[in-house]
A and B are shown apart, each in its own frame.
Chain A
Amino acid sequence: MKGAQFLVKALEHEGVELIFGYPGGAIMPVYDALLDSPIRHILVRHEQAAALAADGYARATGKVGVCMATSGPGATNLVTGIANAYMDSVPIVAITGQVATPLMGTDAFQEVDIFGITLPVVKHSFLVDTPEDLPRVVHEAFRIARSGRPGPVLIDLPKDIANAAGDFQFHPTDDNDSSLQDLDTDSLARAMELMATSHRPVIYAGGGIGMGRALKEFNDFVDATRIPVISTLKGLGAISTRHPLFLGMMGMHGTKASNHAVQGCDLLICIGARFDDRATGKLSGFASHAKVIHMDVDPSEVGKLRYADVPLIGDLRKTLAALSPASLDGDAWRHECLAWKQAHAWNYDAPAPGIYAPWFLKRLAQRAGHNVIVSCDVGQHQMWVAQHFDFDRPQQHLSSGGLGTMGFGLPAAIGAQLAYPNATVINVSGDGSMMMNLQELATLRRYDLPVKIVLFDNRALGMVRQWQELFHDKRYSEVDLSDNPDFSRVAESMGIPAFRIENKEHIEDAIDDLLLSSGPMMAHVVIDQKANVWPIVGPGKTNSEMMDEIRQ
């Protein structure tokens, strides 16, 4: 058996069903071996989309996503997707072809040091330099990608290793996740004491809850303690966004209720989150009266940016299950939080005849049902989705949080739709982001994936335009996209039915067309260029200092 054939067998052994990739010279032995494998290979049209689709697949399923590319430019094109997975702790394995070992270090054709290039954005990486090491490397790559705090792992495979014959045996499996620490009972006791003496507790829910498969334990904890919940972008859906105790997303574009709550709390219970600057605003003024209980699987996150009075390091499922609720004194505070939630409920009144994107998304959420997965790109539309869509599980909301990768949405939707062929997968995008991976419309067509695309078109790089308006004295620099192509015609030329709307009277029909179509479809939704995302916490401001729209 050749190394490449063993690699494919080992991927099968790891349970891999799908690989997103793009062939080329150095990876050709693996593509040859794939012809004899039940693993389905999805040919994207740019390697970046392979990594992002693997990421979307992993976010939607919790399984390890796999992407593959050849050496040189194929490998470098994966880098953004690998970094995206790194920043959001998504388990993917990226396999790159490499020039043969005798040529490595000679500046050979399509040689690049992808191992070195990706060092700061991988959880770990391997260069396979002997055939005998291949079984261990593949096994370790998957184990590392999904263990503890998940993340991307790179396997760089030289062509001569892929072609080498050998007697390969699967590496023995070990299902124990040794990266998980035992719970510290003293810290648990101190956490419960803090909860019992708190008058104004708030739960700050992050992406770690979903990644750590702790949804049940988390929801039980919330229901038992009845502590109000705010969330990060990635924490959306950890508890249903329709849950009465959910106050909304926090931070720069968070709800007023969530930001008031976090700023006024005396105990912040951070669960699987990392005090990201978009969530905290000015750190020194963040929840400045609060003591902090910080639960995370990754010890390096606890105390990184904010002192934790009680660190609880380990598996969130076990931590949450071990926190038996004390008698809490939170009734008055809870009522205060819920009063904020009611007082600052979203206002969808938009007198203009044009389409108000938040209202479009609200209606789409109401009508799309519970079996929906939304993938976003990055910018204003991403924040509108976070604010106005409803999620019951974090796996329904695929959003590039840490890296903020424009062009994430369409490939991620492809990954999610392949994982769940019967789900309603919607890519909400913008006219800037859509152009970043537009070529993947061809992948939708090739595999006849029924992804629905809602493209909000304001003929601008809207979020940058908004910042230039608010924080740069309306000095607009390189944000005009008024020469966009006709997106409907572009989509149709790539075999994707599309339509354009610009009047709010057509919203319901547009949603009908999208949801009732059996195949892919694009709704090109023209919106007002001046529409901004509100509220907003400006740069360097605390979450108490929210700017809001002054409506005419």
Chain B
Amino acid sequence: MLTLQLRVRNEEGALVRVLSMTRRRRFDLVSLTADSSADGAFLDVRMTVQAERSAPAFVRQIEKLVDVAHVEVVGTEQPERDTHAASAC
């Protein structure tokens, strides 16, 4: 299980992009909450996902989305092997 805190620009389809990437990379959604920031410019998203696959690789795919401003890993229930030796994330 991997829990991420995302700050996403509140642009057309931004949340759908995050969810679409999650499904496409074969991660299952466990929980999701999203709130717009006070000025409405961002969505603050907390999501928990699970998969057999590499969590760091998934994080990098999410980070790559143009509308994703910030990603923070806030929880990993089972440490998953990082295939990325110098991962800064």
Q: What's the minimum C-beta distance from B17 to chain A, rounded to whole angstroms?
A: 6
Contact with B along A182-221 (1 / 0, CB 8 A): 0010110000000000000000000000000000000000
Q: CA A311 – CA B63 in complex, angstroms?
A: 17
Task: From A119, A184, A303, A310, give the contact of B20 (CB < 8 A).
Answer: A119
- In the bound complex, do residue A302 and residue B84 qualify as a contact, i.e. CB atoms below 8 Å apart? yes
Q: Which residue of B lies closest to A148 (CB)?
A: B64
Q: CA A187 – CA B84 in complex, angstroms?
A: 12
Q: Is the interface of A mostly helix, strand, loop or mixed?
A: mixed
- In the bound complex, do residue B12 and residue A303 qualify as a contact, i.e. CB atoms below 8 Å apart? no
- In the bound complex, do residue A303 and residue B56 qualify as a contact, i.e. CB atoms below 8 Å apart? yes
For chain A residues 328-380, which have a beta carbon within 8 Å of chain B?
none
Q: What's the minimum C-beta distance from B80 to chain A, rounded to whole angstroms?
A: 12
- In the bound complex, do residue B85 and residue A310 qualify as a contact, i.e. CB atoms below 8 Å apart? yes
- In the bound complex, do residue B57 and residue A127 qualify as a contact, i.e. CB atoms below 8 Å apart? no
For chain B residues 7-55, which have a beta carbon within 8 Å of chain A?
12-13, 16-17, 20, 24, 54
Contact flag A304-B57 (CB < 8 Å), given A184-B86, A298-B64, A310-B85 = yes
Contact with B along A292-317 (1 / 0, CB 8 A): 00000011101110111111010000
The interface size bin for chain A is: 20 to 34
For chain B residues 48-89, which have a beta carbon within 8 Å of chain A?
54, 56-57, 60-61, 63-64, 66-67, 82-87
Task: From A115, A124, A127, A308, give the contact of B85 (CB < 8 A).
Answer: A308
Q: CA A311 – CA B82 in complex, angstroms?
A: 13
4 A-B pairs with the lowest CB-CB distances in the bound complex, closest first: A303-B84, A303-B83, A300-B60, A124-B66
Known: A116-B16, A309-B85. 19 other contacts (CB 8 A): A115-B12, A116-B13, A119-B13, A119-B16, A119-B17, A120-B20, A123-B66, A124-B66, A126-B12, A300-B60, A302-B84, A303-B54, A303-B85, A304-B83, A307-B83, A307-B85, A308-B83, A308-B85, A313-B86
6 contacts between A and B (CB under 8 A): A119-B17, A120-B24, A124-B66, A299-B60, A304-B54, A307-B85
B residues lining the A interface (CB < 8 Å): 12-13, 16-17, 20, 24, 54, 56-57, 60-61, 63-64, 66-67, 82-87
